[in-house]
Structure formats: structure tokens, C-alpha cells
């Protein structure tokens, strides 16, 4: 079996004059930002770390002009069934996949969702292309939230994008349709979030919760204030954060069965609207923009996904209510 069939595309750096005498570990941390966890994995790989194509320890010192190379073994998600399904692929290269996820699709198989997930479709897509890749989503969207999802195609890219996410360097912007309208045209919701002790699957704003910040800007107000279209940007990424924060300021998402006004026997609960609730059969939330720095090319990339059909119908319905 050839190296091309065993390893992903190698990453190499040329040792600079400033790095002369540094350890291999220091050069890889300095130039590629390789994490300790990934270094530990690479040390167990036959050709994981080499200098001038010679396998070395990370404590070995290098000289100017040496070529330090990292090779990651190809992996597959053997526990995920490949399943053919339509995929809206926004971007793909050897390192990264950006998919526009439709509503009603779970990102990763979980208990009760072993098939029909985005992962099943992506694995099929890669197998059809003859690629051996493990499914590594950088972030996730709720089942009923549509929009952009970034998926890394090797451990290094996943590590780098995860760190960008933790540092708040990945630009995630959403459109939401909510009941009412925020008091200020633009602002920030700074309210800690944690699990509801009585219903662990539900998140609530609570003083002892995790620091959470959502920035918003009102795009349009409908029917004299009965509903609004809001653009949101996450500073933190807590579970259900947008849904919880919008409810917290009195503007729950239209169609949100967990935090909003769900239909009951064909009628909306107090504060809801049967017309709006029936126009969209899920929370009216769409991940419309995703900005990141490509870990390999270092290019700043911005991806966009237009509103899906159900939210376009909802917006048309709201526009009929008047401004």
C-alpha cells in the first residue's frame, strides 16, 4: 500500500534561521500550531513526524534548512452507515467541507437517529469519491435549524478550526423570525445559560450559568410589532443559545416548540399566531453566514446560504401583515 493510501496530504515546514536549534516540537507548535494531543497521536504513527524524511523524536533539535513533515493516517467513520441523500455542498477541498443543512436533519447519529443524519449523507458522498475521511463536524446545528455547517476532513484541520471557534474567530451569523420586536433596534443579550434542573434537555437563563452573549440587529418589523426579522451574531456558542436569549428578551422564535408558542390542537398558545405557526413547521432560525480562516491556505473565507423555502414562505406571510 502506498503512502498516498495510508496518509492524508503531508504538512511540511522549512526551518528558518530563527528556528535553528529549536526542538521539532517547538517548530511544529510555532509554525503549524499543532496541539499536544495531535503531537501525541503523530508520535505513535510510523511516519507521523519526520525531519528530511527521517523519523524523529519531538525532542530532537533541527537546523536551518531542515524540512519538518507531519503525516496523519487516513481514517474512516466505520460506525456511521453510508446513506445516499441530496447534499447542498457550498464548498469542498481536500481539507474542508461546508454544507448547507436543511431543517429536520440531525448533524450526527445519536440514540434514536442512526440513519438519516447529515453524517450518513456525507460519508456516502466521500465513499462515492473514493476518499477515506472521518466525519468531524467543527460545530453543530439543532435538528430544526437550517444553514451552514463546517466539517473538517483531517485531525489537524479539525483542531485548528475548533481553536478558532473557541477564540471567537469564526463568524457565525443567523436570521431568525420572532414574535414581537426587540425594544432597541440593535443590541446585545448578555445572560448566562445552563440546564434547567427540572428538565435537563432544556436550557434557561440563570445567574449561575455559563457566560453567554448574543448580538442582534432588527432587520424588519411586521404588523406594527407583532413579529420581526432579526439578524444575530454569536459571541459564545451555548446549546440553544439564540432560542433561549430571544425568549429571555420577550421575543421567542416563531415555530419553536421548546421555547416558543407551539400549536396545540391546531391553535396557538397564548401570545402565538396560528397563521405564523402553521407557515413554518420548526423554529424559524437559519445559519446564513459562516466566516473562517482556512487552516491550510490561511485564506479568509466567507460562506453564505440563502433562506430556505419554508422561511421564504414565512417572510411572505409576515410581509402581508404590513410594516
| Cα–Cα distance measured from residue 291 to residue 234, given in angstroms and rounded to the nearest whole number | 12
| pTM across the whole model | 0.89
Residue 322 has which C-alpha cell? 404590513
Q: How many Å from the N-terminal Cα to the C-terminal Cα in the chain?
A: 65
Q: Superfamily assignment of 172-289+303-319 in CATH? A: Pseudouridine synthase (3.30.2350.10)
Average confidence (pLDDT) over 125-145 = 95
Q: Give 271's pLDDT tier (boundaries 50, 70, 90).
A: low
* Whole-number Cα distances in Å, 319 to 21, 174, 221, 222, 228: 67, 19, 9, 6, 10
Q: Which CATH class is domain 3-70?
A: alpha beta
- Give the tens place of pLDDT for each residue, 110-121: 887 789 999 999
Where exactly are the structural domains of the chain? Answer: 3-70, 89-167, 172-289+303-319
- Give the tens place of pLDDT for each residue, 138-151: 999 999 999 999 99
Common-topology check for domains 3-70 and 89-167: no
Write down the H helix ranges in 32-172.
Answer: 36-43, 118-129, 155-166
Q: Which CATH class is domain 89-167?
A: alpha beta
CB 179 within 8 A of CB 269: no
DSSP state, residue 17: G
- What is the reported pLDDT for 113? 76
Residue 309 has which C-alpha cell? 423555502
- What is the reported pLDDT for 4? 58
Active-site residue, selected from the candidate residues 142, 144, 256, 310: 142
pLDDT at 322 over 60: yes
Instruction: Taking the CA atoms of 143, 149, 150 and 151 in sequence, report the sign of the dihedral they define.
Output: positive
pLDDT at 275 over 90: no
- Give the tens place of pLDDT for each residue, 155-196: 999 999 999 999 989 999 999 999 999 999 999 999 999 999
In the predicted model, what is the mean pLDDT of the chain?
A: 92
Crossing angle (nearest 10°) for helices 36-43 and 155-166: 170
Catalytic-residue membership of 196? no
Buried b (16+ CB within 10 A) or exposed e, 27-47: bbbebbebbeebbeebeeeeb
CB 98 within 8 A of CB 148: yes
CB 132 within 8 A of CB 8: no
Amino acid at each position: 500500500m502506498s503512502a498516498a493510501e495510508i496518509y492524508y496530504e503531508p504538512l511540511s515546514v522549512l526551518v528558518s534561521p530563527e528556528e535553528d536549534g529549536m526542538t521539532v516540537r517547538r517548530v511544529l507548535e510555532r509554525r503549524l500550531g499543532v496541539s499536544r494531543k495531535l503531537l501525541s497521536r503523530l508520535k505513535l504513527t510510523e511516519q507521523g513526524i519526520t525531519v528530511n524524511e527521517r523519523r524523529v523524536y519531538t525532542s530532537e533539535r533541527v537546523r536551518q534548512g531542515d524540512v519538518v513533515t507531519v503525516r496523519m493516517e487516513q481514517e474512516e467513520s466505520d460506525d456511521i452507515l453510508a446513506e445516499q441523500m441530496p447534499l447542498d455542498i457550498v464548498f469542498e477541498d481536500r481539507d474542508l467541507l461546508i454544507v448547507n443543512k436543511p431543517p429536520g436533519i440531525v448533524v450526527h447519529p445519536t440514540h434514536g437517529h442512526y440513519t438519516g443524519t447529515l453524517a450518513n449523507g456525507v460519508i456516502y458522498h466521500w465513499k462515492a469519491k473514493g476518499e477515506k475521511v472521518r466525519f468531524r463536524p467543527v460545530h453543530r446545528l439543532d435538528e430544526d435549524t437550517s444553514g451552514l455547517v463546517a466539517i473538517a476532513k483531517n485531525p489537524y484541520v479539525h483542531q485548528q478550526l475548533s481553536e478558532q471557534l473557541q477564540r471567537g474567530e469564526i463568524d457565525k451569523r443567523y436570521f431568525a423570525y420572532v414574535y414581537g420586536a426587540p425594544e432597541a433596534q440593535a443590541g446585545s443579550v448578555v445572560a448566562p445559560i445552563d440546564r434547567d434542573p427540572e428538565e435537563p434537555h432544556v436550557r434557561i437563563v440563570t445567574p449561575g450559568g455559563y457566560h453567554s452573549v448574543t448580538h442582534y440587529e432588527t432587520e424588519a418589523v411586521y404588523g406594527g410589532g407583532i413579529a420581526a426579522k432579526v439578524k444575530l451574531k454569536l459571541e459564545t456558542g451555548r446549546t440553544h443559545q439564540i432560542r433561549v436569549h430571544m425568549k429571555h428578551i420577550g421575543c421567542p422564535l416563531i415555530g419553536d416548540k421548546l421555547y416558543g408558542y407551539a400549536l396545540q390542537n391546531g391553535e396557538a398558545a397564548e401570545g402565538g399566531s396560528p397563521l405564523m405557526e402553521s407557515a413554518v413547521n420548526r423554529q424559524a432560525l437559519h445559519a446564513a453566514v459562516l466566516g473562517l480562516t482556512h487552516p491550510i491556505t490561511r485564506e479568509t473565507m466567507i460562506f453564505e446560504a440563502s433562506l430556505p423555502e419554508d422561511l421564504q414562505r414565512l417572510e411572505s406571510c409576515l410581509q402581508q401583515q404590513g410594516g
